[in-house]
Every structure is written in C-alpha cells, then in structure tokens.
Amino acid sequence: MTGERVTGGRVAVRVAIVCSVQVLSLALVDVARGDEPASPSTKADTTYGRIDGYVGLVFGAGATFGPRSPRGTLDLRARYLETTGVFLTYEEGAVFGTGAEPKRVLAGGLEVRPLFVARWLTGHEMGNARADLILDSLGFELGGFFAQPQGGSFGDHPGLQAGLALEVPVFARASGPWVGVHGGVRWSDSALSGDPVAGPADRAMYLSVTIAWHQIVGERGVDVSTAPPP
C-alpha cells in the first residue's frame, strides 16, 4: 500500500511538472509574439479583470521540493486588489513516502506584490496580457512556520521563512487557472539564535510548484474610467 501511494505521488508530481512546463512554454511563446496593438480609438483594459472585485482568492495544490524528498502541498491565499495579502501553506511528506525532512510543515504569513498598481496607475502596462500578468505577479513573502522533523513532534522546529514568488496565468486573465512558483529559505528558531544547524529542519531552501485557481470576488474595486490612458 505504501509503495502504491509513493508511486501515485511521483506520477502526480510528474504530471504537474509536465503541465507546468507546457503552460510556461505557451506563456513564453505568447509573450514573445506579443498582442496586436490596440486601435487608437479603443481604450485597452490592462487590468485583465484584476479590479473586478476587491479580493482575490487562490486555491492551489502541488509539491514542495527541498534537500530530500518532496512534500505534497496545499496553498491558500487571499489578496487585496492583487497587491497585498496573506497565505497559508501545508506540506505533507507522506504523500511521496518517508524521505522528506522535515516531513511536515505548516507555514503562513504576508505577501506583497508591488508592481501591479504602480505600473497600472502610471500607464506602464505593456498591453500584452500574459506578459503584464506574469510581471505583476512578482511577490515578496515573509512569514513563520511550524515543522515536524523525522522522529520529532509537530511544531518542534518553529521558525521564519522568506521568499519570492512568480505566477503564470493559463488563460491570460486574473480569474482562472495559474501555475505558481514560490521559493525561499527557512530558518528554525534555534538556527536564528545561533545554535548549530542540525539539518534541513533547521535551515533549508524550498521551491513550491502549484497549479491553482484564482478567483476575483466582491464588488468592483476601482473604477476603470479613472485609469490613465494607454
């Protein structure tokens, strides 16, 4: 039973990676090709649905890769006007066997995505939907985590994490499926206090790849008529 679960987990990771690579490839082709220029009489909506509501919700699943075996990952996020928000991530090593270290992680914190509003309000969006959405998705993440090392209890290694994120839309709209890449470094409280690092549970880099659904909800956040001309 364990072997079947490990094999199934590895197949799921391979499928997710292949899908992510295909989406990224299509995104690069679309960015390189560029969109047709808008007619001078047409005012392009370079928000691409990002201000259709005040709140953006993200529900994602994938895998987190570290020094050893990967961990299955669930990722939940809520953002205000696609600029600032909070995230909660759960990682479970048992999805892929028993080799992950730490084998279980619960992380949460804040994220800031500063480019969208600044570029949109100053008229610096490029007009290529996919390119603008990818660039504006650049985010900075800071938070804390609770980790369970092999042979330990959950929460034995609390600590701090900091990272970067970039996301790629599948359909070049704010609401819909996206591929997310989140990476950074985690330090346990003992590592931060200067104690010797015992292993990946105390300090390690991580890289999460997720396939997520983004949904903009609520009333329209900003009146598009106040936007700068393209």
Q: Is the pTM of this model over 0.85?
A: no
Instruction: Specify burial of residue 219 (Cβ count, 10 A radius: 0-12, 13-18, 19+).
Output: exposed
Q: Output b/e per residue, 46-85; b: 16+ Cβ within 10 A.
A: bbbbbbbbbbbbbebebbbbbebbbbbbebebebebbbeb
Distance CA 167, CA 184 (A): 15
Question: What is the predicted pLDDT for the residue at 29?
Answer: 46
Encode the chain (230 residues) as per-residue pLDDT tens digits.
Answer: 445 544 555 555 555 555 544 444 454 445 445 444 444 444 578 999 999 999 999 999 999 999 888 999 999 999 999 999 999 999 999 999 878 999 999 999 999 999 999 999 999 999 999 999 999 999 999 999 999 988 888 878 899 999 999 999 999 999 999 999 999 999 999 889 988 888 888 899 999 999 999 999 987 756 555 555 44
Q: What is the DSSP letter of 126?
A: -
Structure tokens at 220: 């329209």
- The ranges assigned to domains in the chain are 2-35+51-218
Task: Tell me whether the omega of the peptide bond preceding residue 70 falls within 30 degrees of 0, making it cis.
Answer: no
Helix pair angle (129-136, 2-33), 10° resolution: 120
Fold of 2-35+51-218: Porin (2.40.160)
Strand partners for 108: 88, 144
Report the alpha-carbon distance of residue 129 to residue 112 in Å, rounded: 21
In order of 15, 86, 116, 132, 154, the CA distances from 23 in angstroms are: 12, 25, 22, 16, 36
Asked if 188 and 147 touch (Cβ cutoff 8 Å), the reply is yes
